[in-house]
Structure 1
């Protein structure tokens, strides 16, 4: 697979966030029940989209 440049990586990140994260019912529910921190922790550690976003972040660094 070819290496993506920074602009392409950011485009993939934006697409993922718009497609899956914007309006996520689970995030909204967790935020309501456990607070913003709990919802964010779930997205980072348990959500498959969050894991993919972390991989893109590592490539950006």
Structure 2
């Protein structure tokens, strides 16, 4: 993978996380009610932003 393309993908990941994940009310609520592990599992498996982040991760590998 080209270095420029990798940097662009990482930039997209950072932008997504800053825009949607930082301060996410749903994540905070789930973490408080069900625990950190359950909240993380929700973000990975059910959140549309998490799914999009996984797709970027696959492209980076």
Using the size of structure 2 for normalisation, the TM-score is 0.93
2:5 aligned partner: 5
Considering only aligned residues, what root-mean-square deviation do their CA atoms show, in Å?
A: 0.9
Runs of 4 or more, structure 1, over 2 Å off, are none
Q: Distance in 2 between matches of 1:45 and 1:33?
A: 18
2:28 aligned partner: 28
Deviation at 1:5, TM superposition (A): 0.7
Using the size of structure 1 for normalisation, the TM-score is 0.93
1:49 aligned partner: 49
Q: Distance in 1 between matches of 2:36 and 2:10?
A: 24
SS of the residue aligned with 1:23? coil
Higher helix proportion: 2
Report the count of equivalent residues. 58
**Unaligned stretches of 5+ residues in structure 2:** none
